[in-house]
Structure 1
Amino acid sequence: MSVLDALWEDRDVRFDVSSQQMKTRPGEVLIDCLDSIEDTKGNNGDRGRLLVTNLRIIWHSLALPRVNLSIGYNCILSITTRTANSKLRGQTEALYILTKCNSTRFEFIFTNLVPGSPRLFTSVIAVHRAYETSKMYRDFKLRSALIQNKQLRLLPQEHVYDKVNGVWNLSSDQGNLGTFFITNVRIVWHANMNESFNVSIPYLQIRSIKIRDSKFGLALVIESSQQSGGYVLGFKIDPVEKLQESVKEINSLHKVYSASPIFGVDYEMEEKPQPLEALTVEQIQDDVEIDSDDHTDAFVFTDLLHVKYVK
């Protein structure tokens, strides 16, 4: 199972989640905490707390903590500021968030009950922007601007662990000779003759990494998550010892990543908030879960791999 299969925090809008679901998952970091925020549309007149993490926004009522919201950044369509009518503050500027989850649209309106504080707007907008500009950490990408002067264009928190030359991509009858970059967040392959013919596979999107028999002989086979399209990518690495070493290294890095994912959302507040565990409240019940139906659009490799699956 890929890390993504268990990840819902940034890809769902959920109401009245359990205390366990309010806690941070591995790789999720609390960025800001605002204690006087009203859910003006859904719970007007109810003072609450807003938590901003690198994956989602969480709001819960201070009087009745089981009344809460979890809004994943991947569901957000737009964020704007407009005037709203708050029972606690009257006519005031508020944050409007329009989302879409599982073909259903939801609008949320949040009002900061602290007069003159722009922090609600700056925190949410800035962190969401950081999420939107770091998709390479999380999304399967084909034919992107990945290579410059024969070298991988590194992401801010990325480190190359190995570069493997002479790797054949088995996407056609003759194959394409290229190069592998194995990093702490993804695997990247590009064709030597055409650097724009490439693929970036984040560990987040990898379902399985195996050696299987193909019509080209033993091959490294990477299966991506269903959310990324369920691709099956085959790569030929010679000799077999080198293939086995590469698979061992990729599996090891994937295991390390799964234990502590790097989502790439890099934003820090000047004042550090308390740990989220200290802010969550027990006694929440009656989960309402909305299954994500997100789909990553991408160009498709033609005839990706003809694999003879061996039991």
Structure 2
Amino acid sequence: MKIDVKKTAQLLENHNNIIILVHSNPDGDTLGCGYALLRALRKLGKKAEVLRPENVSKKYNYLFDDLGKEDFTPEYVVSVDVADIKLLEKDAREKYGDKINLAIDHHPSNCVESEYLLLEDTAAAACEIIYKVIDEMNVAFDKKIADCLYTGITTDTGCFRYSNTTSQTYMMAAKLVEHGADGPLINRIMFETKTKSYVILEKLVMDTLEMHFDGRCALVHLDYDMYEKSGSDESETDPIASKTRQIEGVCVGIFLREKEDGSFKISLRTLEEVNASEVCRKLDGGGHARAAGCQCDGPFENAKEKILAAVGEYLK
């Protein structure tokens, strides 16, 4: 059942022992949502915990490194920024995939089977929705909550550069800064601070660059052994997805990441003339108009052929 912000706040106020699910390979939006909501619920005297995946990038530690762990038997399950239960970590999916009471999301392609769904697909980031929910619960915004929400907003708007950025986005960001969010520091951590291992990995990946459709599509791929060569891991790969779209003349950027089982995770980043979500839905994926993803069986040539065929329907 689809619900609004007011009903969502009421549900959260009426439950306790809440477990919050975030998606695998977590980014700043899903983590920002999870920990902002956790902090708000704890301020209301409730027990709450985020089921955090193992492979969280160290750059996100400031979102949760001051929090203690609470032990309890979950009675209410909430997912944030999760468009499909397939995107949950295996452990979370097996334990709670069919027990989600409340899903909060901004992906138009959301297909989570939950008792209640708060979906605002015009929100630039799921953290914009969580902002409204916390405000509706009359929880006072503090610096920690503000930092969490600002992180999600700046992540999903590419530091306010993407076309999903709206006047609401700017106004919320301004209010979060008023509440203590350290915008310059967060933006530096998110977009300007890179580990040596990431720099090496990025070079290995960008060296695989291929151009297709008369230069309108750029494709790169990551072989699984590149992690060992660079000393990196999957948690550091997300920034690479946008690199190909930055090439002059490119309107579709494709990033294929080989997983340990030989399958490929595919990320699309597009300009306005191509709907990334519609392309990825052809391969049972989805996401947003400018950023989406899907998965495909290996080997690499098979995955490449399938995603290029899907993109080609737009770029013929």
TM bucket (normalised to shorter chain) is: under 0.3
Q: Tell me the TM-score normalised to structure 1 length.
A: 0.25
Structure with the largest fraction of strand: 1
Greater share of helix:
2
Please report the TM-score for the alignment, with normalisation by the length of structure 2.
0.25
- Determine which structure has greater relative contact order: mean sequence separation of CA pairs < 8 Å that are 6+ residues apart, divided by chain length: 1
The structure that has the greater radius of gyration is 1
